[in-house]
Amino acid sequence: MYLRKPSKKKIPELSHRAMAGQAQTVVPTDAELLQAQADLWRHSLYYLTPMALRCAVGLGIPTAIHRLGGAASPTDLMSALSLPTAKLPFLRRLLRLLAASGVFNVDKSTEEGIYCINPLSYLLVDGIPHEVHINHTSFVLTATSTRYIDAAMGLADWFKKDVVTPPFEELHAATLFHESMESLDADFHKMANEALEAHDNFGIPIALREFHDLFKGIQSVTYCCGASGDDAFARALVKAFPHLKCTVLVDPKMFGTKPADGVISYVAGDMFNFVPPAQTVVLMLVLHFLTDEDCVKILAQCRKAIPSRKDGGKVIIGDIVIDYSPGPMLEAHLLMDIAMMTMTKGRQRDENEWREIFKNAGLSDYKLLKKFGARGVFEVYP
């Protein structure tokens, strides 16, 4: 058996004829049409939710609520943020939307309402000394920046062109997270890389607890850095498993910034052409930035770098795996996929699509281990 088929249920499909027939015969009821109009308003104005979130982050509302004990009324926030008195009714409306969107919890036992920090807004609080906490303010500000929004505004025109260059690159003549972006807009480039680090490094301590057994028995690891060149996961891995011999493959341009402390061996190189040999190669949130063809090239190099499965050879991949179960997680996965389509050459993939990449790279089998938030962890074998 080559690669086992995933257990995920297939999405039922209708034939074109059946769909056309339904379109001709199904007439919405009056109630459905009235609801449809409200839904259309909601979808058309959805952009105001991230804009309200951006506003809250810019004002420092999550941090202010946290410093007020984790709960605050709009009047409390007016004073804490030194806002003009005339803005109080507008602040109430902003907070009301953010609470309805799940950014804050609200206690309605008082006339004004008390707004409370919840897990989502906790990620936007500055200065929390906790191993798992990483401030995601830079992620919000990058995702809602005019550079992102302007690229998305051009999607319809982009679809009409016979090009596959991402809209972001076509509009700005620069590549996200690349030195070309730094030359164009150094401040945005810095913020975007901070957002990338928050995205990539969040949850490392949780991952090492959840998947502790995955690294038992491993003697050597090669960790392939992504676009940011960040090696936080590798350092956390060595701290958790001091016996590991860890090599980090890093972009030659970033090689000079890495410490020569003997804890990790750094190798300058390009994972498309060479991956340093080890019992295990680790790729964390690297492949979703790349095309399928580029993923195959990198995994083929990983296959060359590891021993046989019998001798413990494997590739560990942490990345987003689209789960079609209805709910907020599916929406998050699909929004991230469209973000990738708009800003980069990469994409988010379901298990079938990952399986095809593994097969094309010459890998023989895999296991999809338990999901980890929005991500999944694969153990892939040569």
Alpha-carbon span 206 to 200, nearest angstrom: 13
Task: Give the separation between CA 354 and CA 141, rounded to whole angstroms.
Answer: 30
Q: How far apart are CA 28 and CA 215, in angstroms?
A: 56
Residues 294-299: contacts with CB within 8 Å, 24+ apart? 294/345, 295/357, 295/361, 296/357, 296/360, 296/361, 297/272, 298/224, 298/271, 298/272, 299/357, 299/358, 299/361, 299/363, 299/380
Contact between 141 and 96 under an 8 Å Cβ cutoff? The reply is no
Parallel, antiparallel, or unpaired for β 375-381 and 314-322? antiparallel
Pick the catalytic residue from 136, 172, 288, 333. Answer: 288
> Any bridge partners for residue 379, and if so which?
316, 367
Q: Compute the residue count for the chain.
A: 382
> Is 12 strand, coil or helix?
coil
Task: Select from 57, 201, 215 the least CA-distant residue to 131.
Answer: 201
Residue 288 known to be catalytic: yes
The tokens of 357 are what? 């990449």
- Cα separation, 350 vs 359, whole angstroms: 15
- Yes or no: say if 281 and 354 are a contact pair by the CB < 8 Å rule: no
Closest of 179, 225, 169 to residue 200, by C-alpha? 225
Cα 365-366-369 angle, rounded to 5 deg? 165
Q: CB under 8 Å to 185, separation ≥6 — which residues? A: 147, 174
d(CA 97, CA 307): 54
Cα 49-287-141 angle, rounded to 5 deg: 25
Query: Which residues are catalytically annotated?
Result: 288
